[in-house]
């Protein structure tokens, strides 16, 4: 996608807002339909030490990520949630998502684009509440005229997690 027009900006914003609504409403099967078959959904570990001089990122690529899912593992996560026995999500968390600061740039191919965004996800889980803040780098791809999520890289602002992450960010 060569140019970022106001129409494209609005389309991407609406895609991300619609995705947030589906997740908040626990409509996971509809959410899965927004993903490409070769999707990669990853959250690398943040470094807890000072980066080397000149290092451009605070994301560690040397150690195992918190999660690195493909379509089949995301489907399995959804199936597990649907069983009602996913311990961390019984009863299901109530979540509210704010997606903001959406900046779009052309992707590597004509069908791809990159959407950078910031988020706040508030999770009410049993008798506790957590708010996760961070940024995402999404690769979106147009397939059959519709945008789909091809890759998401999530970077949390927190260095130490207050709880296990049992929701999609």
Q: Domains, the chain, ranges and CATH?
A: 6-48+57-156 (3.10.450.50)
What pLDDT sits at residue 143? 96
Closest CA to 150 of 142, 161, 160: 142
In whole angstroms, what is the distance from residue 118 CA to residue 152 CA? 12
Please tell me the predicted confidence (pLDDT) of residue 126: 84
Residue ranges, the chain, pLDDT below 50: 1, 60, 62
pTM score, two decimals? 0.88
pLDDT at 151: 98
Cα–Cα distance for residue pair 19/163, rounded to 1 Å: 23
DSSP-assigned states of every residue in 50-94: PPPTT---SEESSS--SEEEEHHHHHHHHHHHHHT--GGGSSPPE
Pairing of strands 94-106, 67-70: unpaired
């Amino acid at each position: 996608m060569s140019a970022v027009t106001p129409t494209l900006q609005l389309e991407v914003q609406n895609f991300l807002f619609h995705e947030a609504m589906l997740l908040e409403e626990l409509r996971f099967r509809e959410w899965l339909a927004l993903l490409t078959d070769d999707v990669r959904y990853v959250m690398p570990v943040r470094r807890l030490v000072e980066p080397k001089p000149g290092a451009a990122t605070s994301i560690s690529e040397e150690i195992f990520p918190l999660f690195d899912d493909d379509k089949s593992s995301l489907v399995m996560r959804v199936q597990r949630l649907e069983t009602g026995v996913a311990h961390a999500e019984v009863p299901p968390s109530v979540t509210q998502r704010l997606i903001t600061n959406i900046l779009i740039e052309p992707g590597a191919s004509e069908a791809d684009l990159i959407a950078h965004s910031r988020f706040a996800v508030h999770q009410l889980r049993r008798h506790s509440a957590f708010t996760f803040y961070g940024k995402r780098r999404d690769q979106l791809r147009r397939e059959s005229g519709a945008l789909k999520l091809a890759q998401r890289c999530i970077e949390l602002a927190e260095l130490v997690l207050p709880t296990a992450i049992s929701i999609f960010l």
